[in-house]
Amino acid sequence: MKYLPEQKILEALNEFNTPFHIYDEKLIRENAVQFKKAFGILPGFRNYFAVKALPNPFILKVLEEEGMGADCSSLPELMLAEKAGITGENIMFSSNDTPAEEFKAAKKLGAIINLDDMSHIEFLEKNAGIPRCVCLRYNPGKSREGGNLIIGKPAEAKYGFTKEQLFEGYMLLKKKGVKRFGLHTMIVSNELNEKYIIGTAIMLFEVIAEVKKRLDVAIEFVNLGGGIGIPYRPEQKAVSYERIANGIKKAYEEILVNLKPKIFMECGRAITGPYGWLVARVRHIKHTYKDYVGLDASMANLMRPAIYGAHHHITVVGKEKKPHNHRYDVTGSLCENNDKFAIDRMLPEIREGDVIVIHDTGAHGHAMGFNYNGKLRSAELLIREDGSIIEIRRAETTDDYFATLDFNRLKKFK
């Protein structure tokens, strides 16, 4: 787990109001370099950063410089990628339930289009035309062939083609003139068990071998999806990129033999998750049936604890070494009882005005924010490599909140 140096927190507090998310550019770059080095042993490796994890163009630009592409699934995400200088096949468009105009935009950008359903082949043809390169998203369903280790319940997931549809899909695309084919799946999430990540690769490699055998279609690239986990709890251990890469390489050589597809991933969380923090101030302390610490941040700034019961490590600035002998619920101000960052968390004694750091908010943090209850999303800050702190997104104001309303019409409204 990465800690934000106290000096940096104080510097940021000097200049910016809480709450804010703050990211560390140097750590993001170092991790990206390590990621690329480890997985670079795989042919043609590239990670398409999942834009939904941290949709900020400053971050996308940093990642582009470190050799990453962008995994997008909506028009605004495609636009963000383009603004950050990520274009053409450095964009993977992995959408579902896709509107026609998004297929059009993706095709125009020259992005790799990853189709989620059989019916999208005709839909794409009608609305945007079939590109020369198409990727298909596979959902293995209940299959456990070859002793693959697949967790979760793909059969309950809305994504992807069934196995039979996948074969039909490649045949149909071949008939329609497609020359280059990709295969994609995404069946793990926040996974710390390296075996399951390697298991996904094994499963896909077996499909590639079967596609070659049954259809004589050579898959040019395989996208293993995202889903590499991060240790949100201090006692958890990070995965080893090297061990995963070596496991995938071994399976590649054993299963694919003469086939040489490129290997892609679309990790988001593992790339930026540990290098972001939500910094908030304690507004009120409340003692009723339990002890509550009320922050100036709410689930509008970080939803994961409220919606998944996700754990985020919490520290109190200047009190890290004090005995953690107080039990608190750490809450926001939303009128929803699940607006809690932590429940029954042992922390040092907290006072009003204390600064709280919520860890690992660099992915699926600010991005999931929303405006329910009139809550506004916070600013995002970036610690540059030279130590300076810049604002890469300002906080929302009430003007932003009201931007979609026309109060002049309200005056005439009877």
Ligand X SMILES: *Cc1c(COP(=O)(O)O)cnc(C)c1O
Residues that bind ligand X (CB under 6 A): 50, 52-53, 71, 94, 186, 189-190, 225-228, 266-270, 363
Q: How far is the CB of 37 from ligand X (least distance, A)?
A: 19
CB 164 within 8 A of CB 213: no
Q: Which is nearer to ligand X, 280 or 363 (CB)?
A: 363
C-alpha 53/C-alpha 224 separation (Å) is 17
Q: How far is the CB of 64 from ligand X (least distance, A)?
A: 17
Whole-Å CA distances, 328 to 149, 244, 312, 324, 374: 39, 38, 14, 10, 26
CB 44 within 8 A of CB 221: yes
Which DSSP helix (H) or strand (E) runs through 88?
Answer: none
The per-residue DSSP string of 110-173 comes to TPEEEE-STHHHHHHHHHT---SEEEEEB--TT--GGG----S-GGG---SB-HHHHHHHHHHH
CB 39 within 8 A of CB 263: yes
Q: How far is the CB of 54 from ligand X (least distance, A)?
A: 9
Q: Which is nearer to ligand X, 72 or 355 (CB)?
A: 72
Q: Which is nearer to ligand X, 25 or 71 (CB)?
A: 71
Q: Are strands 326-331 and 291-295 parallel, antiparallel or unpaired?
A: parallel
Q: How far is the CB of 114 from ligand X (least distance, A)?
A: 8
Q: How far is the CB of 337 from ligand X (least distance, A)?
A: 27
Q: Which is nearer to ligand X, 133 or 293 (CB)?
A: 133
Q: Which is nearer to ligand X, 50 or 330 (CB)?
A: 50
Q: How far is the CB of 207 from ligand X (least distance, A)?
A: 17
C-alpha 380/C-alpha 12 separation (Å) is 11
Q: Which is nearer to ligand X, 133 or 267 (CB)?
A: 267
C-alpha 129/C-alpha 240 separation (Å) is 42
Q: Which is nearer to ligand X, 162 or 373 (CB)?
A: 162
Q: How far is the CB of 23 from ligand X (least distance, A)?
A: 15
Q: How far is the CB of 34 from ligand X (least distance, A)?
A: 16
Alpha helices in 320-403 (DSSP H): 398-402
Q: Which is nearer to ligand X, 196 or 328 (CB)?
A: 196
Residue number of the CB closest to ligand X reads: 226
Q: How far is the CB of 221 from ligand X (least distance, A)?
A: 15
Q: Which is nearer to ligand X, 268 or 365 (CB)?
A: 268
Local structure of 26: helix, strand or coil: helix
Q: Which is nearer to ligand X, 50 or 208 (CB)?
A: 50
Whole-Å CA distances, 277 to 123, 293, 307, 312: 42, 18, 19, 10
CB 367 within 8 A of CB 59: no
Local structure of 299: helix, strand or coil: coil
User: What secondary structure letter does DSSP report for 191?
Assistant: B
Q: How far is the CB of 239 from ligand X (least distance, A)?
A: 12
Whole-Å CA distances, 308 to 1, 20, 29, 305, 311: 20, 22, 29, 6, 9
The alpha carbon of 231 is separated from its chain's Cα centroid by a whole number of angstroms, namely: 15
